[in-house]
Amino acid sequence: MGTSYNDRSKWYLGKLQSKGRDTNMFYIYDRGMNAEDLMLMENGRGASGMSTGLSHSAARRELAVVAYNRGSQFSHSRRIEVGLPAIVRDDGTTVTEAQFRPFSEADSLMTVFNNIRTKGQHNVVATKRILALHNKAWSAGKTSELGQFNGRATESSTKNFQLCVSPPSDPSHKKDYDTSTMGKREKIHPERVILQMGRCVDRFNVDFTYPMSFFTAFAVCLSRFATKATDSF
């Protein structure tokens, strides 16, 4: 890793990454160190007897993961799925999120998120760790209903989308979701938009709300421009 971590500008906030050539999955990190690099430095310290002054808390934190589901087998409301660390404490002054600083793939936010979404257990399982979001039906792509954007999108685009809290895709978990605190709250404001991006002539407007941060919102939107140009949402 060399000195690249220490040489980062104070304006460096984080990173959007797609691993390998797979543009279906994106990871959003804060400015922390890659866990593999951190372990190498720690191992080097042990060999030399010198302290690096680093701890596991220096490892980069996963702020969100994004999954793009392609193909006709996916419903229009599951073409984009996002996993955020759950809010575990909010006393009106301090907000504390679940922490994901993985030192192995098994501990990563993406792994936990994939286990939940492949079983259709969105916001029913691991609710203390993950908040699952998905695109509203007919809000994504060229078929997006512009009226739903409240003037923030005036042109159809493959990049348009709105994200809301995901109910479980497996019907067997619907009752558990509906009777949960989250389910009851979302029933009052069905398909409440957490993040949206809409084209307006020569620009894209982005709007987001709690618990989405500005950096995570920007990174999720940026991932739409990194996906294949042949997207047919």
Residues 183 and 181: their CA atoms lie apart, in Å, by 6
Distance of CA 26 to the CA centre of its chain: 8
pLDDT at 100: 94
CA distances from 133 to 84, 103, 119, 140, 194 (A): 8, 25, 15, 13, 8
Tokens of 105: 């793939």
Per-domain boundaries in the chain: 70-224
Q: H or E segment at 180?
A: none
Query: Do residues 229 and 26 touch, judged by C-beta distance below 8 A?
Result: no
Q: Which residues pair with 165 in a beta bridge?
A: 133
Tokens of 201: 């002539």
Smallest CA-to-CA distance from 212 within 198, 224, 194 is with 194
pLDDT tens by residue, the chain, 233 residues: 344 565 678 888 999 998 766 678 999 999 988 887 887 777 765 544 545 555 677 889 999 999 988 766 566 667 899 999 999 988 888 889 999 998 888 889 999 999 999 999 999 999 999 999 999 877 766 767 888 899 999 998 888 999 999 999 999 999 999 999 999 999 998 889 999 999 998 899 999 999 999 999 999 999 998 866 545 55
Q: What is the pTM of this model?
A: 0.86
